[in-house]
A = this chain, B = another copy of it.
Amino acid sequence: MGLRLGVIGIGAIGKEHTLRIEKKLSRAKVVAVNDVNREHTEAFLAQHNLSAKFYESGIELIRAQDVDAILVTSWGPTHEEFVLASIAAGKYVFCEKPLAVTASGCRAIVEAEMMHGKQLVQVGFMRRFDKSYRQLKSVLDSEQLGYPLILNCAHRAPAAPGFAGDMAISDSLVHEFDVLKWLLNDDYVSAQVILPRKTRLCDDSLQDPHVVLLRTKQGVLINIESFVNAQYGYDIQCHVVCESGTAALPEPSDVMLRHDGKFTRNIIVDWQLRFIEAFDVELQEWIDATSVGRVDGPSAWDGFIVAVTADACVAAKHSGNIEPINIPERPVFYR
């Protein structure tokens, strides 16, 4: 029968994950769902001929006897409560980012999990499951190019209609923060944020693009361009300069055309298409690891230090200074 899952939050990502588990993946079943909108949720279940039971309360769903593990895909501010309740129930939980909306909330989850005595929490940083990032990590881990010294990264999206304030950092760069330390097996020590010339092609109140410079314990310089109104496409770049060579993140392949005086290849514009296979791998590996009682993916600790890093970047953006990133020693529990 496989793993019996409960999904809290049947919005866009909750629906996608539910359908992914039911239609594409193996060895798990969605048996329970919870959402603030019951009518909407039951229409979704009916439309796809799904037999999951509806729960009025997320906490009730977490405690249900026939639910083996939980997916938290609800509104961000509710994550902390549901993750803590899952830990309290001793159940494995996969939580979409953010783990909690504050670093202290993340810290509380870390402490609860350590108190419980066993890892249960995985955070939805899907890039670690992307084939291209895995290919790049495999090259770096082999040390065939020596140590990494500099990373030049870009996170570009065609447009970001709802973005305001520091959302480019707290909402999208968090993926960079998680995947880059995983890529380097390293931790961050400081952040600087530079505001280059602004594009005219976005809301006047938004500073776009901006450049985040991170330093790691090993001294690696990471340069991340965040450009959420880059117009031309959804383009994730990562170039690593090592001691004896460089390595670039593979790009999605597509037909190479020669037409109209040009050699062209399409670039992905819709971000959902960029990591669609990574989401499949992420959830299947989570199901498989959960089934044998392991957490292999991004942990609560990872969620916590991403939150600390994002806070430091926001501070650096506003101060214009190089700000320290104070990450405590990684507990043995999370090694």
Contacts and interface: CB of A to CB of B under 8 A. Distances in A.
A266 B150 CA distance: 23
A150 B209 CA distance: 9
B246 A258 contact: yes
Contacts of A152: 152, 223, 225
A112 interface: no
Q: Which of A27, A148, A221, A284 has the most CB of B within 10 A?
A: A221
A251 interface: yes
A36 interface: no
Interface string A255-279: 1111111111111010000000000
A197 B147 contact: yes
A181 B173 CA distance: 31
Nearest to A194: B221
Given A258-B235, A260-B232, A251 B253 contact: yes
A53 to B, nearest CB: 18
Interface string A264-308: 111101000000000000001000000000000000000000000
Nearest to A249: B255
Number of copies of this chain in the oligomer?
4
Nearest to A258: B246
Contacts of A264: 262-265
A47 interface: no
Interface in A139-172: 139, 144-150, 152, 154
A202 to B, nearest CB: 9
Contacts of A262: 232, 264-267
Interface in A161-215: 194, 196-201, 209, 211, 213
Interface in A216-268: 218-221, 223, 225, 227, 230-233, 235, 241, 243-267
A262 B25 CA distance: 32
Contacts of A78: none
A26 interface: yes
Given A24-B25, A150-B225, A196-B220, 11 more contacts: A145-B257, A146-B201, A147-B197, A149-B197, A152-B225, A197-B220, A201-B243, A245-B258, A250-B256, A261-B267, A263-B266
